[in-house]
A and B are shown apart, each in its own frame.
Chain A
Amino acid sequence: MTRTLIASLAVLMAGVLAFAGLTRGFTVLTAESARRQAVAAAPIPIPELIGIDQRGTRRRVFESAERRVVIVDFIYTRCTSLCSALGSSYQRLQSAIEAQHLEHAVRLVTVSFDPAHDTQEVIHEYGRSLGAKPNIWTILQPLDPEALRRSLKVFGVVATPAPQGQFAHNAAFHVIDRRGRLARIIDISKPDAALSAARRLYGGS
């Protein structure tokens, strides 16, 4: 009986350790939250992603010469749910950046992960309808699908094709610090937190 008790305790301890490892010490239950924690603890360099913005100009997601902090999101323009909410949040963020005179410090970037549909005309129209000001808010059609794929992987964005030209995808505010590293991933329900994080990252480096 003692041996069985020892064996049971050993199994239980191994199980607790396995669960603790899996859930980062019982703090996360999803891959998404695990990722957010990991990024905040150790920012990761992002790969270069070049695209054409709503004015038809070549732009990068992170422009190293500007050294502005960037808040990035990934969308597709046909989206009727998550991306519309993100669009509204970005409008509010743009207003806040103007009101707080943060144009020199924080930039907004929206990247389409459906560049086949989101062509120059579509991106232009999308930017116009949302009132995106190109000096603050860049909307990008990525040029190289392979570079886009690499970026999505690093940013942890999964976009799964769904029926009727839709995608199921996760979304968040990805904040890139002045050294071009993904430093924070913030829930889409908290645009104010994204701006505060961006301000802190600008001030802190």
Chain B
Amino acid sequence: MNASRDRVVPAAVTLLAAASSLPPLSTLLMRFMLTQMLVQIPLIFLAAASLSVHIRLPTETRWMQWNAQGAPGLLFSAIVLAFWMTPIALDGAAADSLWETGKIASVLAAGSSAGISWRLGSGVAHAFYVGNMVWMTVTAGMLYQESTERLCNAYLWNDQAITGQALVGVSIVLAVTWVLEFAGRNVRQSSRTGGDAQGADSPPA
């Protein structure tokens, strides 16, 4: 059941990401700042990330020496995502197809890099990455929410303000989800080790 779900979800995300990168859906998504930032870019990123966790590089051990804890890989991913949160880059992608192609390619690379590197990283690396992403997204969201000027020539002020609120909302959800998931994993882990020490029959305290 889980195994088939593990395949279905990435496949669905990949299909959606492919559709959102090509006309006519890409044209529609690029018309609004909200859909460019919170639908198209995340879909492309998630598709690449969910596919790459299944990739087993044959030379992974050698690669690991250059990517211990997934640090450079996660750093690369964070930098690319930060790049595509700036108004000047979003405007570029909306106005110029070359920029748009560059965006899709770099977000694919960022997603793959995050997917591969996440696996290599410990809790500390994950916390650093998630914390960084949340901080970046909240900052961008506040900038877009607070600005009384239109920051992108391609997008309306209303769209910008709503995108700002949505970015802050999404980062809070992201942070809470990760903390819950992290805490849940630790609880499961400690109860397993506790269980081993006390014997399988002991009831939980």
Pairwise interchain contact A30-B67, C-beta atoms closer than 8 A: no
Nearest to B68 among chain A residues (CB) is A4
Residues 1-57 of A at the B interface (beta carbon under 8 Å): 1, 3-4, 6-8, 10-12, 14-15, 18-19, 22-23, 28-32, 34
| Chain A nearest CB, measured from B51 CB (Å) | 21
Give Cα A29 to B92, complex, Å. 12
Check B86 for interface membership: any CB of A closer than 8 A: yes
Number of interface residues of B (CB under 8 A): 25
**CB < 8 Å: which of A3, A32, A160 contacts B66?**
A3
Residues 111-163 of A at the B interface (beta carbon under 8 Å): 156, 158, 160, 162
CB contact under 8 A between A32 and B153, given known A4-B69, A7-B67, A8-B75:
yes
Pairwise interchain contact B151-A30, C-beta atoms closer than 8 A: yes
CB contact under 8 A between A8 and B153, given known A15-B79, A29-B88:
no
| Chain B nearest CB, measured from A46 CB (Å) | 18
Residues of B within 8 A of A7 (CB): 66-67, 71-72
Check B65 for interface membership: any CB of A closer than 8 A: yes
Check B135 for interface membership: any CB of A closer than 8 A: no
Check A168 for interface membership: any CB of B closer than 8 A: yes
Pairwise interchain contact A162-B91, C-beta atoms closer than 8 A: no
How would you classify the secondary structure of chain B's contact residues: helix, strand, loop or mixed? helix
Residues of A within 8 A of B91 (CB): 30-31
CB contact under 8 A between A11 and B86, given known A30-B151, A158-B154:
no
Give Cα A1 to B65, complex, Å. 7
Residues of A within 8 A of B75 (CB): 8, 11-12, 15
Mask: chain B, 148-175; 1 = CB below 8 Å from A; 0 = not: 0011111011000000000000000000
**CB < 8 Å: which of A3, A29, A158, A162 contacts B86?**
A29
| Chain A nearest CB, measured from B34 CB (Å) | 15
Check B178 for interface membership: any CB of A closer than 8 A: no
Check A170 for interface membership: any CB of B closer than 8 A: yes
Pairwise interchain contact B157-A4, C-beta atoms closer than 8 A: no
CB contact under 8 A between A31 and B88, given known A3-B65, A11-B79, A170-B150:
yes
Residues of B within 8 A of A15 (CB): 75-76, 79, 83
Pairwise interchain contact B66-A4, C-beta atoms closer than 8 A: yes
Pairwise interchain contact A31-B87, C-beta atoms closer than 8 A: yes
Give Cα A168 to B151, complex, Å. 12
| Chain B nearest CB, measured from A119 CB (Å) | 26
Pairwise interchain contact B76-A11, C-beta atoms closer than 8 A: yes
| Chain A nearest CB, measured from B42 CB (Å) | 20
Nearest to B65 among chain A residues (CB) is A3
Pairwise interchain contact A30-B66, C-beta atoms closer than 8 A: no
Give Cα A131 to B45, complex, Å. 56
Mask: chain B, 108-145; 1 = CB below 8 Å from A; 0 = not: 00000000000000000000000000000000000000
Pairwise interchain contact B79-A18, C-beta atoms closer than 8 A: yes
Pairwise interchain contact B72-A8, C-beta atoms closer than 8 A: yes
24 pairs of residues in contact across A and B, judged by CB atoms under 8 Å: A3-B65, A4-B65, A4-B72, A7-B71, A8-B75, A11-B72, A15-B83, A18-B79, A18-B83, A22-B86, A23-B88, A29-B87, A30-B87, A30-B153, A31-B87, A31-B92, A31-B95, A31-B152, A31-B153, A32-B153, A158-B154, A160-B156, A162-B156, A168-B157
Report, nearest first, the 9 A-B pairs whose CB atoms are least far apart: A15-B79, A31-B91, A7-B72, A4-B68, A158-B153, A8-B72, A168-B156, A7-B66, A3-B66
Supply 18 further A-B pairs (C-beta < 8 A) apart from A6-B66, A23-B86, A162-B156: A1-B68, A3-B65, A3-B66, A4-B67, A4-B68, A8-B72, A11-B75, A12-B75, A15-B76, A22-B86, A28-B88, A29-B86, A29-B87, A29-B88, A31-B152, A158-B153, A158-B154, A168-B150
Residues on B close to A: CB < 8 A?
Answer: 65-69, 71-72, 75-76, 79, 83, 86-89, 91-92, 95, 150-154, 156-157
